[in-house]
Amino acid sequence: MRIVHIKYCTLCLLLLIIAKQAQAIFYDEPKVVYIQPLGHVEKSDINMVKSAIEHFYHYKCIVKTEVNFTRDILADSKTRYEANRILSKYNTNENLLILTGKDIACANPERHSTEWGIFGLGYRPGKTCVISTFRLKRNASAQLLHSRLTKVCLHEIGHNLGLNHCTSGDKRCFMNDARGTIKAVDQEQIFLCEKCRKALST
Ligand SMILES: [Zn+2]
Ligand SMILES: [Zn+2]
């Protein structure tokens, strides 16, 4: 009886695998991006990110349970968090966007700074990016924050998908290098220029 039972289970398992593969082929399941709140993040900010990714990239977003800040991701000044340390700590095989309300920074040799405050950072290509609303919220109405957060989010996911910074000269393209200035982000639109669009599809 025991052997029969094992055979039955093996067959079920096999049928399940075949069915899953058929489903993936015929229904083309959307890719999943997990949103990981790091520390307390406003629900409205999470929803903005979710809707930006779902509308533009047509990915399905799943929000994870908030995780707490730890000392190992602090920047050397201990006054904010180091974006590269956050990325390497949370990098896994799943697509992950880490969202935080705290300030993040990374080294910027161009500006001779070891701790340059940034809006976001993402592996290129890769699966993990981190976005901070801290600088995006400065002097911003709800509408302006929505626009900024959407563009930064699409920009970092663009890096994960292998896109470099835009070289077309079109200031509307959200893949422009903001170089840490909010003015550059505000000049952009929820728009990907033809050059970047082509790079994304190849
Ligand atoms: Zn572009
Ligand atoms: Zn960038």
Q: Which pLDDT belongs to residue 28?
A: 64
179, 161, 42: which is closest to 113 by C-alpha?
179
Q: Give the span between the Cα atoms of 96 and 111, in whole angstroms.
A: 29
- CA of 164 from ligand 2 middle (Å) equals 7
Q: Which pLDDT belongs to residue 22?
A: 53
Q: Which pLDDT belongs to residue 30?
A: 76
8 Å CB contact between 121 and 83: yes
Q: Which one-letter amino acid corresponds to residue 75?
A: A
Q: Which ligand is nearest to the CA of 196?
A: 1
Q: Which of 29, 115, 156, 194 is catalytic?
A: 156
8 Å CB contact between 85 and 93: no
CA 140 to chain centre: 22
- CA of 111 from ligand 2 middle (Å) equals 16
Fold classified for 29-201: Collagenase (Catalytic Domain) (3.40.390)
- CA of 64 from ligand 2 middle (Å) equals 24
**Active-site residue flag, 29:** no
Q: What is the pLDDT along the chain (202 residues), one digit of tens a residue?
A: 555 555 556 555 555 555 555 554 455 677 999 999 999 999 999 999 999 999 999 999 999 999 999 999 999 999 999 999 999 999 999 999 999 999 999 999 988 999 999 999 999 999 999 999 999 999 999 999 999 999 999 999 999 999 999 999 999 999 999 988 999 999 999 999 999 999 999 8
Q: Which pLDDT belongs to residue 139?
A: 94
Q: Which pLDDT belongs to residue 148?
A: 98
